[in-house]
Amino acid sequence: MPALFSLGRWPLAIALLAGMAFTALAQGPEQAVERRILAGDRLNVSVREQPDMSRIYPVAGDGSIDFGFAGRVIIAELTPDEAAHRLEGVLESSYFKEANVTVSIANFVEGDVLLTGALQSPGTLPFHGDSILTLMEAIVRSGGLTERAAGDRVRILRWVPGGSMERQAIEVNVQAMLDTMDFAKDQYLRPRDIVVVPFRGEEDGRNEFLALGEVNKPGFHPFSDNLDVIKAVTRMGGLGEFADWSGARILRLRPTGDYSVVPLDLNRLFGVADMSMNLVLQPGDIFFVPSTRNLVRAQVFLLGEVKQRGAVSLGAGPNATVARVILSQGGMTDFANSSRVQIQRTAPDGSKKTMQVDVGRILKQGTFEEDVPLQDGDVVIVPEKGLLGL
Protein backbone atom coordinates (compact mmCIF):
# COMPACT_ATOMS: atom_id res chain seq x y z
CA MET A 1 0.00 0.00 0.00
CA PRO A 2 1.22 3.62 -0.47
CA ALA A 3 3.08 5.15 2.43
CA LEU A 4 0.32 7.51 3.48
CA PHE A 5 -2.02 9.55 1.31
CA SER A 6 -2.32 13.31 1.56
CA LEU A 7 -5.23 14.84 3.41
CA GLY A 8 -6.57 16.42 0.25
CA ARG A 9 -7.15 13.14 -1.60
CA TRP A 10 -8.16 10.80 1.20
CA PRO A 11 -9.60 12.78 4.12
CA LEU A 12 -11.81 9.93 5.34
CA ALA A 13 -9.03 7.34 5.16
CA ILE A 14 -6.67 9.64 7.03
CA ALA A 15 -9.25 10.32 9.73
CA LEU A 16 -9.85 6.61 10.15
CA LEU A 17 -6.11 5.94 10.43
CA ALA A 18 -5.70 8.62 13.06
CA GLY A 19 -8.68 7.31 14.99
CA MET A 20 -7.40 3.72 14.86
CA ALA A 21 -3.96 4.82 16.04
CA PHE A 22 -5.40 6.70 19.00
CA THR A 23 -7.70 3.82 19.89
CA ALA A 24 -4.83 1.33 19.81
CA LEU A 25 -2.81 3.51 22.14
CA ALA A 26 -5.74 4.08 24.46
CA GLN A 27 -6.13 0.36 24.87
CA GLY A 28 -2.43 -0.16 25.59
CA PRO A 29 -0.71 -0.36 28.96
CA GLU A 30 0.55 3.25 28.74
CA GLN A 31 -2.97 4.62 29.15
CA ALA A 32 -2.71 4.33 32.93
CA VAL A 33 0.68 6.05 33.11
CA GLU A 34 0.52 9.43 34.82
CA ARG A 35 1.93 12.44 33.03
CA ARG A 36 5.54 13.04 34.03
CA ILE A 37 7.20 16.35 34.85
CA LEU A 38 9.08 17.99 31.98
CA ALA A 39 11.62 20.79 31.82
CA GLY A 40 9.70 24.04 31.41
CA ASP A 41 6.78 23.00 33.62
CA ARG A 42 5.91 25.18 36.60
CA LEU A 43 5.11 23.24 39.78
CA ASN A 44 2.94 24.11 42.74
CA VAL A 45 4.91 22.72 45.71
CA SER A 46 3.53 22.80 49.26
CA VAL A 47 5.67 21.99 52.32
CA ARG A 48 3.58 21.65 55.48
CA GLU A 49 6.53 22.02 57.86
CA GLN A 50 8.05 25.07 56.08
CA PRO A 51 5.29 27.31 54.68
CA ASP A 52 7.73 29.80 53.15
CA MET A 53 8.89 27.00 50.79
CA SER A 54 5.35 26.59 49.48
CA ARG A 55 5.26 28.38 46.13
CA ILE A 56 5.52 27.96 42.36
CA TYR A 57 8.81 26.43 41.18
CA PRO A 58 9.92 26.52 37.51
CA VAL A 59 11.61 23.34 36.26
CA ALA A 60 14.92 24.34 34.70
CA GLY A 61 16.34 22.96 31.47
CA ASP A 62 18.41 20.40 33.38
CA GLY A 63 15.23 19.02 34.99
CA SER A 64 15.84 20.55 38.42
CA ILE A 65 14.13 23.05 40.70
CA ASP A 66 15.85 25.47 43.06
CA PHE A 67 14.36 24.11 46.30
CA GLY A 68 15.33 26.94 48.61
CA PHE A 69 17.87 26.10 51.31
CA ALA A 70 17.77 22.44 50.24
CA GLY A 71 19.53 23.30 46.96
CA ARG A 72 18.71 22.08 43.47
CA VAL A 73 16.81 18.82 43.11
CA ILE A 74 16.36 16.88 39.85
CA ILE A 75 12.69 15.94 39.42
CA ALA A 76 12.14 15.78 35.65
CA GLU A 77 10.71 12.47 34.39
CA LEU A 78 9.00 11.85 37.75
CA THR A 79 5.26 11.93 38.33
CA PRO A 80 4.05 14.62 40.76
CA ASP A 81 3.67 11.98 43.50
CA GLU A 82 7.19 10.66 42.87
CA ALA A 83 8.54 14.21 42.92
CA ALA A 84 6.82 14.84 46.26
CA HIS A 85 8.45 11.72 47.73
CA ARG A 86 11.87 12.80 46.43
CA LEU A 87 11.51 16.27 47.95
CA GLU A 88 10.37 14.74 51.24
CA GLY A 89 13.49 12.56 51.21
CA VAL A 90 15.73 15.58 50.64
CA LEU A 91 14.16 17.47 53.54
CA GLU A 92 14.15 14.47 55.89
CA SER A 93 17.80 13.65 55.15
CA SER A 94 19.08 16.92 56.61
CA TYR A 95 16.37 19.20 57.94
CA PHE A 96 13.21 17.58 59.29
CA LYS A 97 12.41 14.40 61.14
CA GLU A 98 9.30 14.12 58.98
CA ALA A 99 8.34 16.14 55.91
CA ASN A 100 5.01 16.34 54.10
CA VAL A 101 5.20 17.65 50.54
CA THR A 102 2.58 17.82 47.82
CA VAL A 103 3.33 18.58 44.17
CA SER A 104 1.02 19.48 41.32
CA ILE A 105 1.64 20.98 37.88
CA ALA A 106 0.59 24.62 37.90
CA ASN A 107 1.51 25.40 34.27
CA PHE A 108 2.38 22.89 31.59
CA VAL A 109 5.31 23.53 29.28
CA GLU A 110 4.38 24.57 25.77
CA GLY A 111 6.50 24.08 22.68
CA ASP A 112 6.07 23.39 19.01
CA VAL A 113 6.74 19.92 17.64
CA LEU A 114 8.87 20.27 14.52
CA LEU A 115 8.28 17.89 11.61
CA THR A 116 10.57 17.86 8.61
CA GLY A 117 11.65 15.71 5.70
CA ALA A 118 9.53 13.59 3.38
CA LEU A 119 6.13 14.92 4.46
CA GLN A 120 3.42 16.54 2.39
CA SER A 121 3.34 19.65 4.63
CA PRO A 122 6.39 19.76 6.91
CA GLY A 123 6.41 22.44 9.56
CA THR A 124 5.52 22.97 13.20
CA LEU A 125 2.57 21.87 15.31
CA PRO A 126 1.70 23.86 18.44
CA PHE A 127 1.63 21.52 21.42
CA HIS A 128 0.63 22.07 25.04
CA GLY A 129 2.17 19.80 27.65
CA ASP A 130 -1.15 18.59 29.06
CA SER A 131 -2.37 17.44 25.63
CA ILE A 132 -1.91 14.07 23.93
CA LEU A 133 -0.23 13.93 20.55
CA THR A 134 1.13 10.77 18.97
CA LEU A 135 3.66 10.41 16.19
CA MET A 136 1.03 9.03 13.81
CA GLU A 137 -1.36 11.90 14.55
CA ALA A 138 1.41 14.43 13.94
CA ILE A 139 2.27 12.83 10.60
CA VAL A 140 -1.39 12.84 9.59
CA ARG A 141 -1.70 16.53 10.53
CA SER A 142 1.35 17.20 8.36
CA GLY A 143 -0.38 15.74 5.32
CA GLY A 144 1.18 12.28 5.50
CA LEU A 145 4.32 10.76 4.06
CA THR A 146 5.41 11.43 0.50
CA GLU A 147 6.06 8.67 -2.00
CA ARG A 148 9.83 9.03 -1.46
CA ALA A 149 9.60 8.77 2.33
CA ALA A 150 11.71 6.18 4.15
CA GLY A 151 8.81 5.44 6.45
CA ASP A 152 10.66 2.62 8.19
CA ARG A 153 13.28 5.04 9.56
CA VAL A 154 11.29 7.88 11.08
CA ARG A 155 13.15 9.45 14.00
CA ILE A 156 11.98 11.37 17.03
CA LEU A 157 14.74 13.58 18.46
CA ARG A 158 14.18 14.34 22.14
CA TRP A 159 16.19 16.10 24.82
CA VAL A 160 17.89 13.70 27.22
CA PRO A 161 16.79 14.54 30.80
CA GLY A 162 19.34 15.81 33.26
CA GLY A 163 20.97 18.68 31.36
CA SER A 164 23.41 16.51 29.42
CA MET A 165 22.92 18.63 26.27
CA GLU A 166 22.18 15.57 24.19
CA ARG A 167 19.19 14.35 22.25
CA GLN A 168 18.15 10.74 22.09
CA ALA A 169 16.94 9.36 18.79
CA ILE A 170 13.84 7.16 18.88
CA GLU A 171 13.47 5.27 15.60
CA VAL A 172 9.96 4.20 14.64
CA ASN A 173 8.86 2.04 11.72
CA VAL A 174 5.82 4.05 10.69
CA GLN A 175 5.50 2.17 7.41
CA ALA A 176 5.09 -1.16 9.24
CA MET A 177 2.28 0.32 11.34
CA LEU A 178 0.50 1.46 8.20
CA ASP A 179 1.02 -1.85 6.40
CA THR A 180 -0.25 -3.97 9.30
CA MET A 181 -2.70 -1.42 10.78
CA ASP A 182 -1.11 -2.23 14.14
CA PHE A 183 -0.41 1.01 16.03
CA ALA A 184 0.78 -0.52 19.28
CA LYS A 185 4.29 0.89 18.68
CA ASP A 186 3.13 4.44 18.07
CA GLN A 187 4.84 6.99 20.31
CA TYR A 188 3.57 9.84 22.45
CA LEU A 189 5.26 13.10 21.51
CA ARG A 190 6.43 15.83 23.85
CA PRO A 191 6.77 19.59 23.46
CA ARG A 192 9.96 20.50 21.54
CA ASP A 193 10.35 17.06 19.97
CA ILE A 194 11.73 17.01 16.43
CA VAL A 195 10.36 14.44 13.97
CA VAL A 196 12.58 13.67 10.98
CA VAL A 197 11.24 11.62 8.05
CA PRO A 198 14.20 10.82 5.76
CA PHE A 199 13.94 10.41 2.01
CA ARG A 200 14.68 6.97 0.58
CA GLY A 201 18.34 6.72 -0.37
CA GLU A 202 19.25 9.81 1.66
CA GLU A 203 18.82 8.50 5.18
CA ASP A 204 22.39 9.32 6.16
CA GLY A 205 22.24 12.88 4.84
CA ARG A 206 25.64 12.48 3.20
CA ASN A 207 25.28 15.59 1.01
CA GLU A 208 22.86 17.67 3.06
CA PHE A 209 22.32 19.41 6.35
CA LEU A 210 18.95 20.07 7.93
CA ALA A 211 17.80 23.49 9.17
CA LEU A 212 15.00 23.55 11.73
CA GLY A 213 13.23 26.03 13.97
CA GLU A 214 13.30 29.81 13.69
CA VAL A 215 15.01 30.04 10.29
CA ASN A 216 13.57 31.60 7.17
CA LYS A 217 14.17 28.54 4.97
CA PRO A 218 13.72 25.38 7.06
CA GLY A 219 14.41 22.00 5.53
CA PHE A 220 17.28 20.20 3.81
CA HIS A 221 20.07 22.25 2.23
CA PRO A 222 23.08 21.18 0.13
CA PHE A 223 26.26 20.45 2.04
CA SER A 224 29.63 21.65 0.73
CA ASP A 225 33.19 21.50 1.95
CA ASN A 226 34.15 24.06 4.61
CA LEU A 227 30.51 24.88 5.32
CA ASP A 228 30.57 26.97 8.49
CA VAL A 229 27.84 28.54 10.63
CA ILE A 230 27.85 31.88 8.80
CA LYS A 231 27.49 30.18 5.40
CA ALA A 232 24.80 27.85 6.76
CA VAL A 233 22.78 30.77 8.17
CA THR A 234 23.00 32.44 4.76
CA ARG A 235 21.74 29.29 3.00
CA MET A 236 18.81 29.00 5.40
CA GLY A 237 17.80 32.58 4.64
CA GLY A 238 18.77 34.04 8.00
CA LEU A 239 17.03 33.72 11.34
CA GLY A 240 13.34 34.24 12.05
CA GLU A 241 11.75 37.02 14.06
CA PHE A 242 11.49 34.92 17.22
CA ALA A 243 14.88 33.20 17.04
CA ASP A 244 16.54 32.40 20.35
CA TRP A 245 20.00 33.60 19.38
CA SER A 246 21.76 32.20 22.42
CA GLY A 247 20.02 28.82 22.25
CA ALA A 248 21.02 27.60 18.78
CA ARG A 249 22.36 24.05 18.54
CA ILE A 250 24.00 21.71 16.06
CA LEU A 251 22.74 18.14 16.47
CA ARG A 252 25.30 15.62 15.26
CA LEU A 253 24.57 11.92 14.76
CA ARG A 254 26.79 9.55 16.72
CA PRO A 255 27.69 5.99 15.67
CA THR A 256 25.45 4.82 18.53
CA GLY A 257 22.41 6.36 16.81
CA ASP A 258 21.95 9.15 19.38
CA TYR A 259 22.66 12.82 18.72
CA SER A 260 25.25 14.88 20.50
CA VAL A 261 24.50 18.58 20.84
CA VAL A 262 26.99 21.32 20.06
CA PRO A 263 25.79 24.62 21.59
CA LEU A 264 26.04 27.81 19.53
CA ASP A 265 25.84 31.34 20.87
CA LEU A 266 24.86 33.31 17.80
CA ASN A 267 24.84 36.45 19.96
CA ARG A 268 28.59 36.12 20.25
CA LEU A 269 29.08 35.32 16.57
CA PHE A 270 26.93 38.02 15.01
CA GLY A 271 26.86 40.50 17.89
CA VAL A 272 30.56 40.84 18.74
CA ALA A 273 32.21 38.84 15.91
CA ASP A 274 33.40 36.01 18.15
CA MET A 275 34.66 33.70 15.40
CA SER A 276 35.11 30.82 17.83
CA MET A 277 31.37 30.32 17.34
CA ASN A 278 31.77 30.01 13.55
CA LEU A 279 32.01 26.22 13.68
CA VAL A 280 32.37 23.96 10.66
CA LEU A 281 29.38 21.72 9.97
CA GLN A 282 29.49 18.06 9.04
CA PRO A 283 27.30 16.17 6.52
CA GLY A 284 24.02 15.14 8.11
CA ASP A 285 24.13 17.82 10.84
CA ILE A 286 20.89 19.34 12.07
CA PHE A 287 21.09 23.11 12.61
CA PHE A 288 18.37 23.94 15.14
CA VAL A 289 17.36 27.44 16.24
CA PRO A 290 14.68 27.38 18.98
CA SER A 291 11.95 29.96 19.31
CA THR A 292 11.70 32.50 22.11
CA ARG A 293 7.95 31.81 22.10
CA ASN A 294 8.71 28.40 23.62
CA LEU A 295 10.94 29.73 26.38
CA VAL A 296 10.02 30.07 30.01
CA ARG A 297 10.70 33.81 30.30
CA ALA A 298 13.98 34.38 32.12
CA GLN A 299 14.45 37.07 34.74
CA VAL A 300 17.41 38.88 36.22
CA PHE A 301 17.45 41.20 39.21
CA LEU A 302 19.03 44.67 39.28
CA LEU A 303 20.12 46.01 42.68
CA GLY A 304 22.15 48.93 43.98
CA GLU A 305 22.94 52.14 42.13
CA VAL A 306 20.69 51.69 39.10
CA LYS A 307 17.84 53.98 38.18
CA GLN A 308 15.28 51.17 37.98
CA ARG A 309 15.80 48.40 40.52
CA GLY A 310 13.97 45.09 40.54
CA ALA A 311 13.21 42.11 38.32
CA VAL A 312 13.81 42.50 34.58
CA SER A 313 12.56 40.09 31.93
CA LEU A 314 15.53 38.83 29.97
CA GLY A 315 14.90 38.71 26.25
CA ALA A 316 16.81 36.76 23.64
CA GLY A 317 19.32 38.13 21.19
CA PRO A 318 22.35 40.40 21.45
CA ASN A 319 20.80 42.64 24.14
CA ALA A 320 20.73 39.99 26.90
CA THR A 321 24.00 41.22 28.44
CA VAL A 322 24.78 43.10 31.64
CA ALA A 323 25.68 46.49 30.17
CA ARG A 324 22.77 46.49 27.72
CA VAL A 325 20.24 45.42 30.38
CA ILE A 326 21.42 48.22 32.69
CA LEU A 327 21.04 50.70 29.81
CA SER A 328 17.53 49.40 29.04
CA GLN A 329 16.52 50.19 32.61
CA GLY A 330 17.67 53.80 32.52
CA GLY A 331 21.33 53.33 33.33
CA MET A 332 23.21 53.88 36.60
CA THR A 333 22.95 56.68 39.15
CA ASP A 334 25.59 59.36 39.69
CA PHE A 335 26.78 57.48 42.76
CA ALA A 336 27.44 54.17 40.97
CA ASN A 337 30.83 52.46 40.96
CA SER A 338 30.47 51.36 37.37
CA SER A 339 33.86 49.63 37.25
CA ARG A 340 32.94 47.02 39.86
CA VAL A 341 29.52 45.78 38.82
CA GLN A 342 28.91 42.30 40.22
CA ILE A 343 26.96 39.39 38.75
CA GLN A 344 25.92 36.76 41.29
CA ARG A 345 25.02 33.45 39.66
CA THR A 346 23.76 30.12 41.00
CA ALA A 347 25.07 27.03 39.20
CA PRO A 348 22.85 23.94 38.59
CA ASP A 349 24.59 22.15 41.48
CA GLY A 350 23.56 24.93 43.88
CA SER A 351 26.99 26.54 44.19
CA LYS A 352 27.27 30.30 43.84
CA LYS A 353 29.85 32.41 42.07
CA THR A 354 30.41 36.12 41.61
CA MET A 355 31.80 37.84 38.51
CA GLN A 356 32.99 41.44 38.33
CA VAL A 357 32.48 43.50 35.18
CA ASP A 358 33.81 46.95 34.30
CA VAL A 359 30.54 48.20 32.81
CA GLY A 360 31.77 51.80 32.87
CA ARG A 361 34.64 51.02 30.50
CA ILE A 362 32.34 48.99 28.21
CA LEU A 363 29.94 51.91 27.91
CA LYS A 364 32.66 54.58 27.62
CA GLN A 365 34.75 52.79 25.01
CA GLY A 366 31.98 50.85 23.28
CA THR A 367 33.80 47.54 23.85
CA PHE A 368 30.66 45.44 23.88
CA GLU A 369 32.68 42.37 22.93
CA GLU A 370 33.67 42.36 26.63
CA ASP A 371 30.04 42.47 27.76
CA VAL A 372 28.85 39.43 29.72
CA PRO A 373 25.69 37.48 28.69
CA LEU A 374 23.19 37.11 31.51
CA GLN A 375 21.31 33.97 32.55
CA ASP A 376 17.99 33.33 34.23
CA GLY A 377 18.18 34.15 37.95
CA ASP A 378 21.33 36.29 37.78
CA VAL A 379 21.56 39.11 40.35
CA VAL A 380 23.31 42.25 39.08
CA ILE A 381 24.61 44.55 41.84
CA VAL A 382 25.93 48.02 41.07
CA PRO A 383 27.82 49.18 44.18
CA GLU A 384 28.09 52.73 45.49
CA LYS A 385 31.28 54.76 45.15
CA GLY A 386 33.45 54.98 48.23
CA LEU A 387 34.64 58.17 49.90
CA LEU A 388 37.52 58.44 47.42
CA GLY A 389 35.27 57.87 44.45
CA LEU A 390 36.30 54.21 44.11
pTM of the model: 0.53
The band of 103, judged by pLDDT with boundaries at 50, 70 and 90, is: very high
pLDDT band at 198 (very low <50, low <70, confident <90, very high): confident
Secondary structure of residue 175 in the 3-state scheme: helix
Q: Is residue 77 part of a domain?
A: yes
Tell me the average pLDDT of the chain.
80
* Same-domain check for residues 305 and 280: no
Residue 302 and residue 275 share a domain: no
User: What percentage of the chain carries pLDDT values higher than 90?
Assistant: 20
Residues 120-126, mean pLDDT to the nearest whole number = 84
212 and 260, same domain (yes or no): yes
Confidence of residue 298 (pLDDT cuts 50, 70, 90): low
Model pLDDT for residues 300-357, shown as the tens digit of each residue: 899 999 998 888 877 655 567 899 899 988 999 999 999 999 999 876 556 788 989 9
174 plus 303 within the same structural domain = no
| pLDDT for residue 281 | 93
User: How many Å apart are CA 70 and CA 349, to the nearest integer?
Assistant: 11
Q: Which of 12-26, 197-211, 320-334 has the lowest mean pLDDT?
A: 12-26
Same domain for 144 and 208, yes or no, is: yes
For the chain, how many structural domains are there in total? Answer: 3
User: What percent of the chain is modeled with pLDDT above 70?
Assistant: 82
> How would residue 280 be classed by pLDDT, with cut points 50, 70 and 90?
very high
Q: Is residue 33 part of a domain?
A: no
Q: What is the DSSP letter of 157?
A: E
- Which of 248, 266, 293 is the endpoint of a domain? 293
Q: How far apart are CA 38 and CA 191, in angstroms?
A: 9
pLDDT at 114: 83
Sheet of strand 298-304, all strands in order from the earlier edge strand to the far edge = 310-314, 298-304, 379-382, 341-346, 352-357
Closest C-alpha among 251, 290, 288 to residue 111: 290
Distances (CA, A) of 389 to 199, 303, 335: 67, 19, 9
Q: Is residue 390 part of a domain?
A: no
127-167 confidence digits (pLDDT tens): 877 778 889 999 999 899 988 888 888 988 887 655 455 66
User: Is residue 130 located within the same domain as residue 168?
Assistant: yes
Query: In terms of domains, do 75 and 204 share one?
Result: no
Its domain, for residue 62, covers 42-107
- Cα–Cα distance, 344 to 338 (Å, whole number): 16
